[in-house]
Amino acid sequence: MDIKRVLGDEAGQILGLVIKIGLVVIVVALVIAEVAPLIWLRFSTIQDAEDVVGAVAQEYAFYHDQAKAVETAGSKLSMMGYSEEEVKESVVEFLPAGAAEKQSVKVTVVKYANTLVTRHISFLKKFARVATTKESGLGTTR
């Protein structure tokens, strides 16, 4: 069977169009499968960052111990399902830096989206990285 002859007549033209539409649908589905986890992760890390910064601010308000507050952030992220690498990349900063009396705390939460491409091609993992920063006041009363 000659492929040019099959695709040359009317039935072949319809088959060619169906194949093209099928390829477009597959490409669109792959793009959605790669982008949707990044969008979802962006929204979920916003809530996670708010939860962690609240827990850190509360821990610091109770004990006035930065190390203990940072430890609380790490344990909270672990309980939320963050990997060890993501917990290590997440940052807790007490502001202003160097001052004895801290006014606020800023938490940056890092999470990696588990997409089809980044699951199989490790050097593209940096494109699946989502970082969200939230800040909370600590109050000035002791």
- Per this entry, what is the length of the chain? 142
Type of residue found at 7: L
- Burial class from Cβ neighbours inside 10 Å (0-12, 13-18, 19+) for residue 110 reads buried
79's CB contacts (< 8 A; 6+ apart) are none
pTM for this one?
A: 0.77
Instruction: Return the minimum-mean-pLDDT range out of 60-64, 110-114, 123-127.
Output: 123-127
pLDDT (tens digit per residue) in 42-70? 999 999 999 999 999 999 999 999 999 99
Amino acid at 20: K
CA-to-CA distance for 122 and 83, rounded, in angstroms? 16
What are the tens digits of pLDDT across the range 18-32? 999 999 999 999 999
Q: Give the start-to-end residue ranges of the domains of the chain.
A: 3-137
CA distances (Å), origin 53, targets 65, 98, 121, 129, 131? 15, 20, 33, 20, 14
